[in-house]
Amino acid sequence: MRPKETAGGATRIPRPPWRYRYTAISAVSAICFIGLWELAAATGAIDPQFFPPPSYVWHELERLVADGSIFDFILVSTRRVLIGFVFSAGIGIPLGILLGTTKVIRWIVEPIISIIRPLPSLAWIPLSMLWLGLSEEQKYSIVFMGTIAPLVVFVTDATMRVDSIYTRAAQNLGAGRFRIMWEVILPGALPSIISALKVTLALAWTCIISAEMVGSTKGLGFLIWNGKDLSNISQVIIGMLAISLTVLALDTIIRGMEHRMLPWHRGQDKR
Amino acid sequence: MASDRPIIRAENVSMEYARGVEVVRALGDLSLDVREGEILCIVGSSGCGKSTLLNIIAGFLKPTEGRVLLRDQPITGIDTRCGMIFQEYALFPWKTVQSNVEFGLKMKGVDKTTRRETAAKFIKLVGLEGFEKAYPAELSGGMRQRAALARSLANDPEILLMDEPFAAVDAMTRQLLQDQLVDIVAKTRKTVIFVTHSIDEALILSDRITVFSSRPGRVKAILENDLPKPRSASAQLTPRYLELKSQIWDSVQEEVLQQIALMERIQR
C-alpha cells in the first residue's frame, strides 16, 4: 500500500522498514524451496521423468521464450479472459444493482440466476461449441456464462447491504430514485463490487483454462494440455506457473486501480 | 423572531407498527405545536417515540392516525424543508466534505460555481475550513457532525430535525457543539426540533422543553426555558437552572420508572 496521507495532506508516513524484512524472508523461502526441489531430483529422491527439477523446467522455458510461444499464449488467454469478463461485468454490475434495489425485478430474475449459478463453466462447453464452433466468441461466451451468475449475486448482495441511512439522508436532501442509485447505492456498494470483481476474475481464469483444454490450439490451457499429450511435464509446469504469474500480475493491477477508485478508503488500510 | 403561528403542528398523531406478532404503539394521540424560530427540545426515556415523531415530520414514516402540518399544509411525503441530522452523521463516506455539503444543491440542479460558493459559506460557518477535501473517515466525531450540519444547512431547510445528534461524541466536544449550534441557529434563523435524553443539553439549547411520556409517547409537559442567554457553563449553577432541572427530572423520572417496571414485566 502507498504511504498514508492525512486530511491536511501534509504529513507522509514513510514505509516502515519491516516490510522489506518480510519480502526478504519470503524470497529466502522461495529460494530454499527451489533448492530442495533441485536437490531431490539430483539425489534421485524424485524421478525427473515424472517430476522434472527446476533446471529441466528452466530449459523448457528457454525454448518457449525463444520461439515466443509463451508470450503469445499468455496474451491470447488474457485477452479471452478480459473480453469475456468485460461483457460479464458490463451486464452483471448494472443488473445486480437493479436487482438489489427493485424487488419486482429481483423476483423475476432470481429463478433464472438460481438455475445458472450452480453450473460449472465446463458444463457450458458442449452447448457453446455447438452454437459458436471453436471460435474466439465461444471462449468469451464460456467466460461470460461462468462468471455472470456469481457476479450478479455478489453485486445484488452488495447493493442490499448499503446502509439505508444513506438512502434516507439522500432522500431528505431531495434525491430522487435514479440519483440515489447513482450517487448513493453505486458508490456505497463499490468496495464490495470491486471485491466481487476480483473473485469472479479468478473464476474467469478457471473458465478459460478449461475451455482451452477442450477446444483450442492456443492459450495457456492448450499449452498445459499439449504438454500432457507430449508427456512434456516441464511444459505442463510452465503452463501452470504462467497462469499463476499472470493472475498475480492482473491482481496487482486491479489492486492499484482499487486504490484509485476508492479514494475514501485511504487512511483505512489495515495491511 | 418567534411568532405565535406554529410552523409545525402535530394533530392527534398516533403511530403503531408491528414487531413480530405484537403491535408496538410508539406514539399515542400526540399533539404539539412548534413555534417558528425556536429551539424545541424533546426529552423522554428511551423508546418513547421521540425519533418516531421526527421521522414522521421528515416524511420517512406515515402516522397511523392524525396528521402533521407544516405551515398549515399536511406533510404527505419526504420534504426537503425539513432537514434531518442523524445521530450517526450519515455523511456519505465516499464524498469529500465539500461534495457532501454540495449534495442537496446538486439534487436541486444548482450550477457548480454557485454550489461551490454556498458550500464554502456553510463549511466556514461550522468552522471546517481547510477540511473541504477530507473524507468523513478522516474527521473526528464532532467534525463529522458539524459537516452534517453544514450539509443540511446548505440545502436551506426551514426546520432542522436533530435526532440525538451529539450522543456519539465525547462530553467536551459535545459542549462545544452545543455552543456552536446555538450560535449557528441564531445566525441562520432556523427552527430546530432537537431530540435528546440529556436534560442538561435540553436546558442549554432550548427555548422550550417538551417531556414525552413513555410508550406510547405523548406530550407530558411543556416548559418555557427562560434561562438568560447566552448560557455559559456558569448558567448551570444558577438557582433557576437547578429549579428547572429538578422540575423536568421529576416529570421524566416517573416515566423512566414506569418504563423500567414495564420492561421487568415483559422479562417475567
* Mean pLDDT for the stretch of residues A47-63: 87
Burial class (CB in 10 A: 0-12, 13-18, 19+), B68: buried
**Mean pLDDT, to the nearest integer, of A159-173?**
93
Residue range A55-263 in CATH 3.30.930.10:
no
Confidence of residue B72 (pLDDT cuts 50, 70, 90): confident
pLDDT at position A90:
95
Can you tell me the mean pLDDT for A39-59?
86
Q: Where are the domains of chain A?
A: 55-263
Burial of B87 (0-12, 13-18, 19+ CB in 10 A): middle
What was the pLDDT predicted at A15? 63
- Residues A87-101: tens digit of each pLDDT: 999 999 999 999 998
What residues in A contact B130, CB-CB < 8 Å?
8
Which residues of B fall within a CB distance of 8 Å from A166? Answer: 90, 92
Residue ranges covered by each domain of chain B: 39-60+76-267
List of chain A residues whose C-beta atoms are within 8 Å of the C-beta of residue B83: 172-173
**How far apart (Å, rounded) are the C-alpha atoms in residues B243 and B248?**
9
Whether B103 and A170 lie within 8 Å, measured CB to CB: yes
Confirm if A60 and A238 have CB atoms less than 8 A apart.
yes
Distance from the Cα of A153 to chain B's closest Cα (Å) equals 23
- Of residues B97 and A264, more confidence is placed in B97
Residue B162 has pLDDT above 80, yes or no: yes
Residue A265's pLDDT band (boundaries 50, 70, 90)? confident
> Which one of B107, B138, B152 has the shortest CB-CB distance to A6?
B138
Confidence band for B99, pLDDT divided at 50, 70 and 90? very high
Share of chain B above pLDDT 70, in %: 98
B199-244 pLDDT per residue, tens: 999 999 999 999 988 878 888 889 898 888 878 777 888 888 899 9
A56: left (phi over 0), alpha (psi -120 to 50) or beta: alpha
Band of pLDDT at residue A267, cut at 50, 70 and 90: low
Q: Where are the beta strands (DSSP E) in B21-171?
A: 22-35, 39-43, 65-70, 73-74, 82-85, 159-163
Mean per-residue pLDDT for A140-167? Answer: 93
Q: What is the CATH number of domain B39-60+76-267?
A: 3.40.50.300
pTM above 0.90, yes or no: no
Q: Where are the alpha helices (DSSP H) in B64-198?
A: 97-108, 112-125, 141-154, 171-188
- What pLDDT was estimated at residue A270? 40
Cell 441557529 belongs to residue: B185
Mean pLDDT rounded to a whole number for chain A: 87
Choosing among A171, A172, A261, which should be mutated to test the B contact, i.e. which has the most B CBs within 10 A?
A172
* Residue B180 and residue B126 in contact, taking contact as beta carbons nearer than 8 Å: yes
**What digits encode the pLDDT tens for the residues A203-260?**
999 999 999 998 888 999 999 999 999 989 999 999 999 999 999 999 889 888 888 8
**C-alpha angle B168-B192-B121 in degrees, rounded to nearest 5:** 80
Cβ-based burial of A138 (10 A; exposed 0-12, middle 13-18, buried ≥19): buried
Complex confidence, ipTM? 0.88
End-to-end alpha carbon distance in chain B: 51
